[in-house]
Amino acid sequence: MKSPVYYMDDRYRGPTSSLPAKAQQLFDHAKLNECFEPGDSVAIKCHMGEWNNSGYLRPILIRVIADKIKEHGGRPFVTDTTTAPYYFYGGRSTADMHLKTAARNGFTAETMGCPVIISDGLYGTDDVKIDIPDGMLLKEAFLAKGIAEADSMIVVSHFKGHGNGVYGGSIKNIAIGCSSKRGKINVHICKHQKVGWDTWDFIPDNCIGEECPDWIVCNNLCPAGAIKIKKDHAEFDPEKCIGCFGHQRPLFRCRLWESEKMEDWRSWFLIAMGDAATAYLRYMGKEKVGHLTYAIDIAPACDCVPGTDRPVIPNLGVLASRDMVAIDMAALDLSVQAPGIHGSTAEDKHCMHAGDEKFSAIVGLSQWVTPNTCALLGSGSKDYELIEPAVSEDESEFAHPMFSPEKTSGYYLSKGMKKFGSWTPPGGYKYHDKPKVSIEELSKR
């Protein structure tokens, strides 16, 4: 039996077809309310954006999901987890830092109408270890404790590209986004015995040392002190390395590490994400987890980076499903059918046409590895039915809560008019009979 995926496009044709309104309708069509009982705590797993990123989902797109959960009696909280120090000025590596970034990006208890919680604690150490006896690569995974203790979860994802994960969707939002800090390090397999970064060839002389204007930054990248910048070279102690992939900067800018194992590492990481996402679904129970994806502002890179590039394809719309794999497959298939946007990375990577696998071409790895891994592990189905329900015609259902058919804008404004009269100035409004310069003349460039 095919897994149903409910879909509405991104076009606006009236109040009931706004993206927030469509998301709320799809929540009902996909019966995401059946993931929880009245009184249950419901984690809304989303990405609240890196410092100075502008492509993350707008707060209203998350708020409407919190409202739907409360409508059905659930107790929602918006959540994410701390990051590994993959970026030297990352604004989310501790919970307090993450909350400050989230608030700057518009995510607070006031805007969400529910608590905003970083689920793995101040430093990312609060987690639950989950064994994966049948994992393709991982033998265990580490789920953020705040999410593990929730009764259920609605995964609200931003579909887009990703530099290492090829694409970001519901699977990655769970596999990486629900992992504690050691969980993220684990899934990124940077300490893998065969392809881990500490097994790569270190080339210390590629660093010019303290003559480099950035040497202080590089000297402070590693929380374990495994990297040290000396007068005219760099030093690396693999015994101290914890695999946090904080040494990406000297890796890519100065090529301090080189290895034929890099391609295996990049590909295997995609498998590890499938292992972790599967483990977390099993722990919580697939029936307790629902998925809603906004395929809009589809940039080539994740919302984890401190900026947002031009989208690679046009907006697609909103999808909802009870199946983690099916919803990602549907979004990927829609992206294949879409044309590329001129001047974007899609043009740089020559994947502008319908039929091109956009993210495979952009990253140089297959965009199907992670969903294939999850499907083989039984955490979802690649076989889906895309259902496009009609958009509601009931405008009052999505109006401001002060409004109803009996209480419209005119109703409230009439109360003011009884006090101050009319907005019409004495003697009426004054106009010229016609424009002093013709429309034809004003229409010329």
- CATH for 202-252, options being 3.30.1370, 1.10.3470, 3.40.50, 3.30.70: 3.30.70
Outline where 192-323 has alpha helix (H).
Answer: 215-219, 248-254, 261-284
Amino acid at 161: G
Strands 140-144, 289-295: parallel, antiparallel or unpaired by DSSP?
unpaired
Distance (Å, whole) CA 284 – CA 45:
13
Q: Which residues of the chain fall short of a pLDDT of 50?
A: none
d(CA 289, CA 108): 23
pTM of the entire structure?
0.95
Domain limits, CATH 3.40.50, in the chain: 3-190+262-387
Please tell me the distance from the alpha carbon of residue 248 to that of residue 158, in angstroms, as a whole number.
24
Taking the C-alpha atoms of residue 388 and residue 404, their distance in angstroms, rounded to an integer, is 28
CB 298 within 8 A of CB 312: yes
Per-residue pLDDT, 87: 77
Residue whose structure tokens are 């990297």: 227
Half-sphere exposure of 90 (CA within 13 A, CB side): 20
Q: What is the pLDDT of residues 116-140, one digit of tens each?
A: 999 999 999 999 999 999 999 999 9
Rounded-to-integer distance, Cα 126 and Cα 7, Å: 36
Please give the structure tokens belonging to residue 206.
């590629």
Amino acid at 427: G
| 239/27 Cα distance (integer angstroms) | 49
Please give the pLDDT value at position 392: 96
Classify strands 257-258 and 384-387 as parallel, antiparallel or unpaired: unpaired
Tell me the C-alpha distance between 312 and 189, whole Å.
29
What is the phi/psi pair of residue 32, to 5°?
Answer: -65, -20
Residues of the chain with CATH 3.30.70: 202-252
Question: At what angle are helices 59-71 and 19-29 packed, to 10 degrees?
Answer: 40
- The yes/no answer on whether domain 3-190+262-387 falls in CATH 3.30.160 is no
Residue at token pair 């899934």:
187
> According to the model, what pLDDT value does residue 246 have?
81
User: Are the beta carbons of 299 and 57 closer than 8 angstroms?
Assistant: no
- Let me know: does 170 contact 155? Beta carbons within 8 Å: yes
What are the tokens at 190?
């940077």
Instruction: Compute CA 56 distance to the chain's CA centroid, rounded to the nearest angstrom.
Output: 7
In whole angstroms, how far apart are CA 413 and each of 397, 403, 421, 423? Answer: 21, 12, 11, 11
